[in-house]
Every structure is written in structure tokens, then in C-alpha cells.
Structure 1
Amino acid sequence: MNRNQFRTLAAAFALSAATVAITGTPAANAQDQPQPIASLDLSRYLGTWYQLAAMPQYFNLVCARDTRAEYALDPQGDVSVHNSCTTWAGGPNEIRGTATVTDPVTNAQLHVSFPGVPTQESRYGAPNYIVTALGDNYSWALVTDPNRLSGFVLSRTPSLDPAQWNDIRAAITRAGENTCLYLTSPTTGGLDALAPLCAV
């Protein structure tokens, strides 16, 4: 990451933090966990997803653009996870893991693990991946965790229209999260800048 790229990322973080300080967080009972959708058809959820926005996490700071997740059934009946992106240096970055359903009633709560990643090595455990909203025909998905410390806007396509973005912002608020904590993810064919989602 060069100096200009670092400044861009730092400015986006600063704007996100400043906006939160001004607007505050949505009214939500902090004791309540985000609610999963009523039913997730896992077979329809498999395939490729583009990350179009996310709460910054230490493990994705290396990613400059084109972050994707590919889900498929593995031989054990769980979900194989292949996350990839383009780094600030222009090279590829990837990690592979496994997602296991922890909520057979809805199928919308899973435990995602990545071998070799501290705190995420165990294949089985408590849910850390909750699908809280889905677009029509599984066109987009909103994912968070029980503590609302992470959040991801995933899409089947590299871009979404304004109406879809409005639906996503509303879904983030319903999940008890703040849209200003989400930064857009630069994607070829989609948005090309880092910015708080509340300002886009």
C-alpha cells in the first residue's frame, strides 16, 4: 500500500468514525442478537458473491478491491468457503475455510472457520455468520455476527441499483447496526471508491 492509498483508507475510516460520532447508532436493544432470516435455502445461497460493502476487519485490510466469496458443498455436507481479493500491491490474496450450519431451523446461522487463523480454527462452534436479510431472488445478502462487530453486504453482481442500496441500508438499520460503519468495497464494474455507506 503506497502513501496515497493509505491516506485514502485512513480518510475513509476517519469519515466513518466522525459520522458515527455525529449521528450515533440506530436505536436497538444491545442485549438482543441480530435475527436471522426465517429460512435460508442453502442450495440457492451457494455460488459466487461479490463484497460491495463491509465493516472493516483486520483480516480484510490487505484487500484493495474485488473481494469475493465462493461457497460450495463439501464432501461432509458443510459449505466450503473460498474468499479472494486483489491486494493494494495488485496481487491476489485468498483464504479457504468451512461454514457449518448451527441453526437447522432457519439454516441462516453458521459457524465459519479458517485453519491457521487465531480464534477461527475450530470447524464447529457457535454461530459467527448470521444472514439477516436477503434481496429478491437471492440477489444480495446482509451478513453479521451475534455481537454486531462485523458486517458484509454481498451481491450476486458487482453493482446494485439505488433502490437495492436503499433496501440494504434499511436492512442494516433493522439489524441494529449503523450504515456509517460500513465502508464500500471497490469492485470492478461497481463502486470504485472507499466511503461510508451512509454517505453514498
Structure 2
Amino acid sequence: MKPHLFAALLATTALPALAAPPLAIERFEPARFTGTWYEIAKYPDWSQRHCVSETSAQFSLTEQNTLTVVRRCRTDAGDIEEKQGLARPLGGAASPRMEATFAAPWLQLLPAVWHDYWIVDIDAHYQLAAVSDPQRKSLWLLSRTPHPDDFSYQALLGRLTALGFDITKLTATAQP
């Protein structure tokens, strides 16, 4: 391949990555993230394919600076499904870049069961948050209440659009 063609190809593949804003938030306080969060919207996700409504997550901080999570949802069969999970920071204890798993503890030794869980947006009062991965393939919008106020929700959508997310892919999560 000619050098100038190679340089042009390299530039066209690298520029989108350089143009994308930084993804994870700069400052994160894990203790403030603990408690109940309601899923208000998400990109469709195979791991939650049976969840049709009432999805929530209860986070607790451990002494090892990991977050335990209990995810609950109402399934398409009408039952409440509950899964136990774990989110651990990548880097320091207050890193917004985490990896999470809902695999059984004995499987957690396998790297393949861990998935990126990055806090990409959170308001100053820790009432609305967005979680994704570095490639922007997943997205969950979380709220401390089942029905956040529309102004705050629209502001979150605007910030996510500025971060390069396709908000048209979001599906709303029915909450009671």
C-alpha cells in the first residue's frame, strides 16, 4: 500500500475516536451511588431480554471498594426475577470506570464474564445517571425515582447526545 494511502486510511479511522468526547465522568463517589436506582430506559440488552418492566438495582458498597448489586425486574412471564451481581472499579476506589458481572461467584475468575460498566453521566445530586461502555454499545439510564421529572430527563438526553450516544435506540422501561 502506498504511504499516502496508508496515512489517509489511518487518519479516517482514527479521527472519529479523537473527535468523541471523553466517556466516563471525571469524579465519582461510590458511597453516594449506593441505594436503589430505577431503570428508566436502556439500549436493548440480551441479558435482560425477559425483563419487561419494574427493573431496579440496589447497590451496596463493600469494604473492598466494590459495589454489590441486586437487580430485580418483572419478566414476560409475570414473575419477579432477581440477580446478584458485583461491580469493581478499574483503577482507584473512586473510579467511574468499573466492570460488572452477574455470573456465579465461581465463574468470576474468568475474564469473559466481566463487562464494562462505566458511569458516563451523573447529576450533582446523584439522582439521574447513565451507564455504558467505552464503545457506546450499551446504555442504561437510571433514576432514584421511577419517574424522573421531564426537564432533568431531557437534559440528560441532551448530554448523552453530546457524548455521541444514539438516543433513538433507547427503549423506555415501564415502572409502576
TM range (shorter): 0.7 to 0.9
Identity over aligned residues, as a percent?
25
Q: Which one of 28, 35, 44 corresponds to residue 47 of structure 1?
A: 35
Counterpart of 2:16 in 1: which secondary structure? coil
**Which of 133, 138, 151 is matched with 2:139 structurally?**
151
Count of residue pairs the alignment pairs up: 159
Q: What are the ranges of 5 or more consecutive residues in structure 1 without an aligned counterpart?
A: 1-27, 189-200
Letter in 2 for 1:62: H
Other-structure match for 1:113: 101
Residue 194 of structure 1: aligned partner: none
| 2:31 maps to 1:29 | no
1:186 aligns to what? 174
In the alignment, is the contact (CA less than 8 A) between 1:172 and 1:179 conserved in 2?
yes
| Stretch deviating more after TM superposition (160-169 or 121-130) | 121-130
Contact 1:111–1:124 at 8 Å: present in 2 too? no
Q: What residue identity is the alignment partner of 1:137?
A: H
More strand by share: 2
Indicate how the Cα distance of structure 1 residues 176 and 146 shifts in structure 2: closer, same or farther if over 3 A, else same: same
Normalization by structure 2: what TM-score? Answer: 0.80
**Distance apart, 1:136 and its partner CA:** 3.4
- SS of equivalent to 1:137: coil
TM-score (norm 1): 0.71
The one-letter amino acid of 1:65's match is: S
Return 5+ residue gaps in structure 2 as ranges: 1-14
CA contact (8 A) 2:35 2:58 kept: yes
Deviations 1:125-152, CA, capped at 9 Å, x for gaps: 8870111111230010011101111000
CA distance in 2, matches of 1:82, 1:136: 24
> What is the CA distance between 1:105 and its match in structure 2?
7.9
Tell me the equivalent position of 2:160. 172
**Alpha carbons 2:30, 2:61 under 8 Å: kept:** no
Shift of 1:171: 1.8
SS in 1 for 2:131: strand
Determine the structure 2 residue equivalent to 1:66. Answer: 54
Query: Which has more radius of gyration?
Result: 2
Residue 114 (structure 1) shift: 2.0
Inter-CA distance 38–106: structure 2 relative to 1 (3 Å threshold): farther
Amino acid at match of 2:60: A
Aligned-pair RMSD on alpha carbons?
A: 2.5
One-letter amino acid of the counterpart of residue 134, structure 1: I
